[in-house]
Structure 1
């Protein structure tokens, strides 16, 4: 089973750090964000990793190399311009193969055990959801009886963590270019094709300097 780390974001809210450093290489606890994912994926048994990039992407390639330093094999999917989540994954499908794969947002920090995702996928997607953070109080989707549904009532919603298992068939009919992932997921949800789970551990969307500091605190507390 392959895994893809999404690393094409520009990280504008993290300026000035991201003016010269791509967001996945910003250090937290002395370690670039993306390295936490690589180490966790390798520990969980994933050996083939695809990483997309756009903004300052060559720095990511130069830093990570072929992945051998992390016990994995890395292939890169460069984007001349950001293609959003859906478009970025679609572009990388030739590198990901015909089977279901894990996808992870490169700008989150979590202690989630990715080995939990190494199981057969029933349907087109499996989403890992978290409690709604302060910056996203209305959440995204509802989790009921192991199935994920489009969220209509914010009080019942959970937030998509940026961790999922997707099947290439989810992208049937798509064409190249920039497009979002959420509409594809909602179509699959309407057909009962999306399962889910609720992550109870640590998870932070590292989108601001304040949340970067929050991760620093969590790492210090766990050390």
Structure 2
């Protein structure tokens, strides 16, 4: 299966670190954030990768090359300006093909086992669903969460059966998608992912799972430093 790593964001909250270095290349535990993803995907047997980029994107290509140094095959989807999550995926669809593919945010770190993704992709491909999301416990900076999860199905946030705050979990930035989810979008036009997911969830076409292990949105220099310290101790 194919996996896409999202690496086009400007990383405004990471400034000044991202003024001269793209966010996915910021180091933690002795290696760039994006390299952790690549190495763990390869260990899981997922070696065909697509990476989008915009801000200082050539640096990403220069460091990662064709992926052979990691045992991967990397292709790139450059964006003149960042197209947001859904727009970036649509831009890369010619590289991703028609099969179910994984998408991973380049600015997270998690011990989620990527070896689970191929089987999840097969299940998604044999269903009428459009997406499968990995959810995590709500972090301090996002206490209200994103979506309720019940019996492996995502429910609309306003669902009365799961109306309490504690019933919602946070989207981890790890997901599986069918290209049909993006059928209404135009290549080259910026578009967020959340509205597409909300529509698909309202139609009952999104499955999910709850990952209870380690996960971090590496969104600030302080979180990057915390991750660096954690990884250097392991």
Q: Which runs of 4+ in 1 moved over 6 A?
A: none
Q: Map of 1:66-85 to 2, 5 A cutoff?
A: 66-85=66-85
**Partner of 2:174 in structure 1?**
163
Aligned match for 2:217, one of 205, 208, 213: 205
User: Could you state the TM-score of these two structures normalised by the residue count of structure 2?
Assistant: 0.93
**Relative to structure 2, which stretch is displaced further, 66-75 or 146-155?**
146-155
Find out whether 1:178 has 2:190 as its counterpart: yes
Correspondence for 2:21: 21
Q: 1:105-120 alignment to 2 at 5 Å?
A: 105-119=105-119, 120=122
CA distance in 2, matches of 1:220, 1:61: 26
String of CA shifts for 1:142-164, please: whole Å, max 9, x gaps: 11010011223433110000000
| TM-score, structure 1 normalization | 0.97
**Paired residues, what number?**
222
1:136 aligned to 2:179? no
Taking the aligned partners of 2:23 and 2:230, their CA distance within structure 1 comes to: 19
What pairs up with 1:40-59 in 2 under 5 angstroms? 40-59=40-59
After superposition, the CA RMSD in angstroms is: 0.9
Report the equivalent of 2:89.
89
Listed as ranges, the gaps of 5+ residues in structure 1 are none
Structure 2, unaligned runs of 5 or more: none
SS in 2 for 1:150: coil
